[in-house]
Structure 1
Amino acid sequence: MRLVTVLSLLITQILAAQKSSIGPPKLLEQSEEEVWYHLDDDDLKNRLTLRCEADENTDRYYWLKNGEPFEIDSDDVLWEKEGQSGSIVFVKPHISHQGYYQCFASNIFGTALSNKMNLRLGSLEHFPKRDIQVLRVKEGESLTLNCTPPRGTPSPKIIWLYRSLDDSSVIETIRSRHITVDTDGRLHFSSVELSDGKATLVYECAATSPVLRGEYRRVSFTFHSRKLSFSDKSHPVRKLSVSPSEVTIRAGGQLKLQCIFGGRPLPTIFWSKVDGELPKSRLKDLTSHESDFGRSLIVENVHPDDAGVYECRGRHLVHTVNVRVMAAPFWEFDPPHDISLPEESTGELECLAGGQPTPIITWSMNGKFLHELAEDSRRVLLDHGRILRVRSLNHDLDTGVYQCNASNPLGYVFANAFVHVRGLFGSIRFTTHLFLNSSTRSILPNASCSPLESRSSLYSNPRL
């Protein structure tokens, strides 16, 4: 009776475990593919972290640098939370830390891999010191403020801010229908308003860079606008800044075209695609501040068929841009999805990546290329490697984390997918793992004989 009760409890545990999240690690967070750092006298500012977080199923983390094992427990590099997290902290970064890093999260079911993270040393100089520049302009006129950024690697991005002279802690981003920052960092006033020239208002040009991690360098301007008589308020429309007539963008990236026109009344910009339709489902709202209230056309997740001629129109002014799309690998729909299937069934993982030239697809299992594993006729690659089909799924052989990599000379995309092969109902196989380790996690990996055979194993096992 006691053995029957024990068997019943074990089967209950197994069925409960099958419904839980037991399985190989699943990555939850990782750093970007490119991580910048700089060397500073302040050690606290110098510290940087490469993130690698997986779920609670993870037993072990380890890292490679440039394809070789990377030692973590040193004076310069430490685990952020050893045993709980795969993230590592560079306490004292130096030049020799540049390189490609990859994190591995592993347990007895399989191994999940992060993207390769390229750790790069950068820099950003300061603006030259100077007094606040004061400009005098007329209400209704167009105005352009130039900003020459300091030297830096990578090239810094320019943003513009408001600051109050009454309270220097009050800093705001500029979001106005008549003020726009172009892609070269110049600030354009389509039509200066009287309120733009308040005596206590300062415009600051700021340079940001990934190496500063949230900080920025800045330089200030201020100006006064003079009110004009009513008869002088109308100004003809004119081009202040437009995108080049030829633009090349990578597939999967963001396309941003600009047409900044000056004039009073403020001209409304209309966008169209001459040789097709605008991709409305991936278009930023043209009435939002992100699209500069219609002066910028922003297309997310660019597709190859977004190539073509785009046109902007403001009253009688027209500008056209021919967009070419470089097809670095991109996901046509989504990365491969996790699958959970019973034994003896057929499973498929899809690595549906597009690109020009056509990407080469490679598959790995737990970080090892499939062609390096023992040959298995149950595994078949279809559609030029875009689909991995496995017949007669076997829990012991096929459960794991599979990696898909699609690459061409322009880049790559990479993803993990967990294949969970469930034991057939009524065919639960126990092995010595069951008796040597009380962890539920160790019960599941080996399952294949019938309950009757399991009972005889229980009777014959001296440990019960």
Structure 2
Amino acid sequence: MLLSWKQMVLLSFIGCLGGELLFHGPVFVSEPRDSMAPVGAADQRVTFNCEARGNPAPHYRWQLNGSDIDLGVESHYSLDGGDLVVVNPLRDRDAGSYQCFATNALGTIVSREAKLQFAYLENFKTRMRSAVSVREGQGVVLLCGPPPHAGELSYAWIFNEYPSFVEEDGRRFISQETGHLYVAKVEPSDVGNYTCVVTSAVTAARVLGSPTPLMLRADGRKLRVERRRI
């Protein structure tokens, strides 16, 4: 319960008489940060940090998407000090924005929002990829086109058959932003099938796309690269 203005004045006066008795409203020491949890993982715990100092010592409550979390009813939530612990979070139930409220007799402060998101990686759609034709000595880009996902990804490419992975060097580069494979000054030894491999950094799930054939043009005509939208 908040104090009346007379009580607040009295507390402030007492605080001036002795430093150790100084009363003040809550001030955050730490606030929650965004978190990412794997979809469907067992025995998972997500912790949102919240700590405030104040005199009197503050107490805490939390909201999810603007609604109070009832710790007495929703047993998969618990408080550890001011931290909110979510046990075995589910996307349909627990995804969203969390906020911490720290309160003492002198006031309430509200933390920044922290989002709980869930990482997943779907399979590539099963479809044939068109061959890419290029003249020897010219460059080419092979498109990856990752499937629907959430969370950070990493990319690699298989050349012809697993486990023959493309090694980056002065001619070959794999973008970890898009997954595309860049090959400069194509040589006859580059001809073959290239398969994009996508891995979730959160769930460790891995999926493979359909192979993209790379061929050399035998004629001397101007380069025409054939690509199929992925």
TM-score (norm 1): 0.31
Residue 160 (structure 1) aligned to one of 121, 133, 155:
155
Give the fraction of aligned pairs with identical amino acids, expressed as a percent: 20
For the pair 1:51 / 2:48, whether they are aligned, the reply is yes
Q: 1:104 to 1:111 in 2, by over 3 A?
A: same
Q: Where in structure 2 are the equivalents of 1:349-368 lying within 5 Å?
A: none
Q: CA deviation at 1:53?
A: 2.9
Residue 54 and residue 145 in structure 1: after superposition, are their counterparts in 2 closer, same or farther (change >3 A)?
A: same
Q: Tell me by how many angstroms 1:66 deviates.
A: 3.6
Residue equivalent to 2:33: 31
Deviation at 1:91, TM superposition (A): 2.1
Query: Compared with structure 1, are the counterparts of its residues 48 and 128 closer, same or farther at alpha carbon in structure 2 (3 Å cutoff)?
Result: farther
In the TM superposition, residue 179 of structure 1 has moved relative to its aligned partner by: 2.5
Residue number among 87, 111, 114 corresponding to 2:111 in the alignment: 114
- Runs of 5+ in structure 2 lacking a partner? 1-14, 217-221, 226-230
Q: CA deviation at 1:145?
A: 1.4
Residues 77 and 90 of structure 1 are in contact (CA less than 8 Å); yes or no, is this contact kept in structure 2?
Answer: yes
| CA pair 217-56 structure 1, distance change in 2 beyond 3 A | farther
Higher RCO by CA contacts (8 Å cutoff, separation 6 or greater): 2
Q: Between Structure 1 and Structure 2, whose CA radius of gyration is higher?
A: 1
Question: TM-score, normalization: structure 2?
Answer: 0.54
Mapping 1:176-255, distance limit 5 Å: 179=173, 181=175, 185-192=179-186, 204-206=196-198, 208=200, 213=202, 215-219=204-208
Distance 1:53 1:164, change over 3 A: farther
The verdict on how the C-alpha distance between 1:123 and 1:203 changes in structure 2, with shifts beyond 3 A counting, is closer
The corresponding residue for 1:77 is 77
How far off its partner does 1:119 sit?
Answer: 4.5
| 8 Å CA contact 2:99, 2:110 repeated in 1 | yes
- Quick one: which amino acid aligns to residue 121 of structure 2? L
Letter of the 1:217 counterpart: R
Q: Secondary structure at the match of 1:87?
A: strand
| Structure 2 counterpart of 1:68 | 67
> Does structure 1 retain, via aligned residues, the 8 Å contact 2:156–2:179?
no
Q: How many residue pairs end up in the alignment?
A: 200
Write out aligned runs for 1:330-349 (5 A).
Answer: none
Instruction: State the Cα RMSD in Å.
Output: 5.5
Structure 1 residue 187 displacement after superposition: 2.3
- Which protein has the bigger helix share? 1
Shift of 1:30: 1.6
Contact 1:149/1:158, CA 8 A, preserved across alignment: no
Are residues 66 and 160 of structure 1, via their aligned partners in 2, closer, same or farther at CA, if it must alter by over 3 Å? closer
The separation in 2 between residues aligned to 1:56 and 1:146, in whole angstroms, is 52
Which consecutive residues of structure 1, in runs of 5 or more, have no partner in the other structure? 1-10, 227-235, 240-464
The residue that corresponds to 1:408 in the other structure is none
- Inter-partner Cα distance in structure 1 for 2:28 and 2:64: 21
Residues 71 and 54 of structure 1, relative CA distance in 2, 3 Å threshold = same
What SS is found at the alignment partner of 2:27?
A: coil
Give the deviation of 1:63 after TM superposition. Answer: 0.4
Distance 1:55 1:64, change over 3 A: closer
